[in-house]
């Protein structure tokens, strides 16, 4: 992570800057599959680590977006080949494929750099394996997730990056959670506690959509925030795509868009099943929606002027509750609460009532079982 001198002095002062143990839900492994570890060895010695996001996949090529300085160093003025890079290793989550390695003898990665204009680098990597997930881009304008009225909850963000092991080798993925603090035309500023290994990695919104690429850490004084706080700075997805789009195949970025629409279409069918109280069908369809998009939140158009919030976990819990499966229902409602979208919906009061009823049902079941066993 490119850290400015004044901020570098602060790195040892606050142990709280280590990545937070953010709550991991079902959508977290999906986001980790999209995130890669990058280790770079230089001719002069030393290894640096960073991260990247699998932007899209086209036939046998995978397109990975990262920060330019992860590979070529902190100077944005020098030409790409001046980085004295001797080895690059890219690792996929859960070892889906062997690490992709490039060295002086074998050039396997094509690199497209935004140079001094923007701290971006697009890596094209040969890979025969079809990856289970690629980035889903935010449909909102760049940075609009950060806009909120005074007193409103700041939108949550998630970011995934590499954690450093012995010998400065990236060894594991870390999840950090925070909120969006502010934005300007090109950058998003957030409170997720990131470290240098997150550099070049993705910034996701509450729905798991890619909204930015982490490029550095800045002080609160620089961005009008708390002077004692350091903020992550990420290039907003709009300027990012504007920069790299010319290097991508024509339909590459469009491949991720239908995932959300598929989830929403399945959710619309599920809601029709809820409206006619066909609970087995509602259960099956809500589970399908979650397979496409596990994070709740976002607006789904039903028909005409009718819109609703995407809440498949809440409604899956409702279907299970109606089928007298309270233990499973409580689990889904708990997961829904963790994701927070339900807490801002008028149905949240119903959820709390259903939870209370389920707990009472389970207590009665336990009492009946105890009485039966005592006979």
pLDDT of res. 97: 85
User: What is the residue-wise DSSP string for 169-197?
Assistant: -EEEEEEEEEEEEEE-SSEEEE-----GG
Question: How many C-beta atoms surround the C-beta of residue 269 within 10 A?
Answer: 16
Tally the domains of the chain: 2
What Rg do the C-alpha atoms of the chain give, in angstroms?
23
Tell me, yes or no, whether 117 and 244 share the same domain: yes
- Strand residue runs (E) in 43-80: 47-58, 61-66
Tell me, yes or no, whether 267 and 246 share the same domain: no
pLDDT of res. 124: 94
Tell me, yes or no, whether 137 and 261 share the same domain: no
For residues 365 and 363, give the distance between their C-alpha atoms in angstroms, rounded to a whole number. 5
By residue count, the chain amounts to 375
CATH value at residue 97: 2.40.10.120
pLDDT of res. 203: 94
Three-state DSSP state, 130:
coil
- Considering 207, 223, 253, which residue would you say is the last residue of a domain? 253
Contact 214, 203 (CB under 8 A): yes
**Residue 375 domain-assigned?**
no
- Considering 203, 228, 253, which residue would you say is the last residue of a domain? 253
Tell me, yes or no, whether 22 and 145 share the same domain: yes
- Considering 222, 253, 284, which residue would you say is the last residue of a domain? 253
Tell me, yes or no, whether 163 and 130 share the same domain: yes
CATH value at residue 310: 1.25.40.10
Tell me, yes or no, whether 313 and 165 share the same domain: no
Tell me, yes or no, whether 123 and 184 share the same domain: yes
**Residue 374 domain-assigned?**
no
- At residue 183, φ and ψ (nearest 5 deg) are -145, 160
Tell me, yes or no, whether 13 and 44 share the same domain: yes
For residues 335 and 313, give the distance between their C-alpha atoms in angstroms, rounded to a whole number. 7
For residues 56 and 45, give the distance between their C-alpha atoms in angstroms, rounded to a whole number. 32
* DSSP state at residue 204: E
For residues 72 and 353, give the distance between their C-alpha atoms in angstroms, rounded to a whole number. 56
Tell me, yes or no, whether 185 and 325 share the same domain: no
For residues 300 and 341, give the distance between their C-alpha atoms in angstroms, rounded to a whole number. 13
Three-state DSSP state, 217:
strand
Of 233, 145, 143, the closest CA to residue 191 belongs to 233
> Can you read off the two tokens belonging to residue 99?
């690490």
For residues 328 and 313, give the distance between their C-alpha atoms in angstroms, rounded to a whole number. 11
> Can you read off the two tokens belonging to residue 101?
């390695």
**Residue 372 domain-assigned?**
no
Tell me, yes or no, whether 196 and 114 share the same domain: yes
Residues 6+ positions from 56 with CB-CB distance below 8 Å? 62, 63, 134, 135, 248, 252, 253, 255, 256
pLDDT of res. 116: 65
pLDDT, block means (10 residues), the chain with 375 residues: 32 31 60 91 83 88 93 65 78 88 89 83 90 74 44 77 64 87 86 91 87 90 82 89 83 60 86 95 91 78 82 95 94 88 91 94 85 70
User: What is the residue-wise DSSP string for 2-19?
Assistant: EE-HHHHTTTTT-GGGSP
pLDDT of res. 75: 61
Tell me, yes or no, whether 50 and 105 share the same domain: yes
pLDDT of res. 22: 47
> Can you read off the two tokens belonging to residue 319?
């279907």
**Chain centroid, CA 280 distance in Å:** 31
Question: How many C-beta atoms surround the C-beta of residue 117 within 10 A?
Answer: 11
pLDDT of res. 139: 54
Rounded to the nearest 10 degrees, the angle between the axes of helix 279-292 and helix 312-322 is 150
For residues 256 and 209, give the distance between their C-alpha atoms in angstroms, rounded to a whole number. 10
Q: What range does the domain containing 206 cover?
A: 1-253
Tell me, yes or no, whether 214 and 265 share the same domain: no
Classify strands 100-103 and 85-92 as parallel, antiparallel or unpaired: antiparallel
């Amino acid at each position: 992570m490119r850290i400015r001198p004044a901020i570098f002095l602060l790195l040892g002062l606050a142990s709280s800057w280590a990545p937070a143990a953010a709550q991991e839900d079902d959508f977290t492994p999906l986001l980790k599959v999209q995130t890669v570890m990058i280790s770079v060895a230089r001719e002069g010695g030393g290894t640096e680590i960073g991260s990247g996001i699998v932007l899209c996949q086209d036939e046998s090529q995978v397109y990975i977006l990262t920060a330019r300085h992860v590979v070529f160093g902190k100077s944005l003025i020098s030409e790409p080949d001046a980085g004295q890079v001797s080895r690059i290793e890219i690792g996929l989550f859960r070892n889906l494929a062997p690490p992709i390695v490039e060295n002086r003898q074998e050039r396997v990665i094509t690199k497209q750099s935004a140079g001094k204009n923007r701290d971006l680098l697009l890596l094209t990597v040969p890979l025969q394996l079809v990856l289970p997930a690629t980035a889903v881009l935010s449909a909102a304008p760049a940075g609009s997730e950060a806009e909120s009225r005074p007193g409103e909850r700041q939108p949550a963000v998630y970011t995934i990056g590499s954690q450093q092991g012995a010998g400065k080798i990236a060894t594991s993925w870390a999840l950090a959670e925070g909120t969006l603090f502010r934005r300007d035309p090109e950058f998003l500023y957030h409170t997720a506690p990131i470290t240098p290994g997150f550099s070049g990695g993705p910034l996701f919104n509450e729905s798991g959509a890619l909204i930015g690429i982490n490029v550095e850490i800045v002080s609160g004084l620089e961005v009008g925030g708390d002077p004692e706080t350091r903020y992550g700075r990420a290039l907003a997805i709009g300027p990012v795509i504007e920069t790299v789009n010319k290097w991508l195949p024509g339909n590459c970025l469009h491949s991720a868009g239908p995932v959300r629409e598929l989830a929403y279409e399945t959710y619309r069918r599920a809601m029709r099943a809820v409206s006619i109280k066909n609970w087995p069908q509602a259960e099956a369809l809500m589970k399908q929606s979650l397979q496409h998009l596990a994070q709740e939140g976002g607006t789904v158009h039903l028909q005409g002027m009718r819109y609703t919030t995407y809440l498949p976990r809440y409604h899956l819990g409702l279907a299970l509750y109606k089928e007298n499966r309270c233990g499973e229902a409580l689990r889904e409602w708990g997961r829904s609460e963790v994701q927070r979208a339900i807490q801002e919906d008028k149905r949240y009061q119903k959820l709390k009532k259903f939870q209370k009823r389920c707990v009472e049902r389970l207590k009665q079941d336990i009492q009946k079982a105890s009485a039966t066993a005592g006979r």
